[in-house]
A and B are shown apart, each in its own frame.
Chain A
Amino acid sequence: MGMGLAVPGTSSKRRHPIGRDINREDQMTARIALMTAAALLVGSPTLAKSGPTDAEIAHIAYTAGNIDVDAAKLALAKSKNATVREFAQTMVRDHEAVNDKALALVKKLKVTPQSNATSEALMKQAKETKQRLSSLKGAAFDRAYAANEVAYHDTVNGALKTVLIPSADNGELKSLLETGLTLFGEHQKHAEQLAAGLKS
């Protein structure tokens, strides 16, 4: 798919002796951590009955976007890799754009986003991820950030598809979530490309 794209850094011949293992481990850690949040999103008994309310959905979606913006800001503070930095800048720009729209929408609909178990789990997990990423440097950080971005977007995509979009009552909120899904899908592929480029 992305073969024809000129992604700076993908042609790098640098090879970490155990780069592949580190990457796999990073992805594993990220996936396990995210599974808690994903399980809450999909399997919570309170949510499974009637699904989250629009106020809760708005809070979850906004939180999910904010978490990615924060992770990207950490990457911009720590990474010197041009490809990683460009990716992080896109994450900040895109997620802030959606969240600005989300804020405008809840204001218009007079809905107060409501904190809930899912958004709290997402925040808790994000805090742990931030701590883990903060302790890393250089290429190890870049790989862990990219791996986390793949796993994180994958989880949020799943939640949008299976819970958030089907549960949304308001048409405008549903439509904004669908835009979010298109965005997260693109970001996930982009993150996969980034992660693949950092492996070699």
Chain B
Amino acid sequence: MRGWVGFGVVAALLLAAPAEAAPRTHVIVMEKMKFQSVPASVRRGDTILWENRDMFRHTATAKNGAFNVDLAPGAKGKTIIQKSGALAFVCKYHPGMRGVLKVSQ
């Protein structure tokens, strides 16, 4: 009986909790001298998984200094997005490679 009550409380709490979305992981591939598959929208707290599939060293460098991920060919790196707003980034070795993350919340 006590077990059922406990279960009921937990279930009620779960149902009543505000629908806070769990952080997501977005993969951005660096390939053919481009940032491929930049997500249309990102939420604060989400993770970006950078994946360098080129044979060249690349970076993902935020123009505002929020992150700087330097990746050897074939390497992967993670960035957790801390602030909302538009976050422009480039590869500091290949300035033609660029993108913008639109971070909400």
Contact = CB atoms under 8 A, between A and B. Distances in A.
B67 interface: no
Interface residues of B, number: 14
B32 A97 contact: no
Chain B interface SS verdict (over half): loop
Contacts, number: 39
Contact of A183 (B33, B73, B88, B90): B33
B55 A7 contact: no
A6 B96 contact: no
A90 interface: yes
B57 A186 contact: no
A79 B97 CA distance: 26
Given A90-B94, A182-B32, A186-B33, A4 B56 contact: no
Among A93, A101, A182, the most chain B Cβ lie within 10 Å of the Cβ of: A182
Interface residues of A, number: 20
B57 A182 contact: no
B32 A179 contact: yes
Given A93-B56, A97-B55, A97-B56, A7 B33 contact: no
Interface string B42-85: 00000000000001110000010000000001000000000000
A6 B55 contact: no
Contacts of B97: 186
B55 A93 contact: no
B95 A7 contact: yes
30 contacts: A1-B96, A2-B96, A4-B88, A5-B90, A5-B95, A6-B63, A90-B93, A90-B94, A93-B57, A93-B93, A94-B56, A94-B93, A97-B55, A97-B56, A97-B57, A97-B73, A98-B55, A101-B55, A179-B32, A182-B32, A183-B33, A183-B56, A185-B33, A186-B33, A186-B97, A189-B95, A190-B94, A190-B95, A190-B96, A193-B95
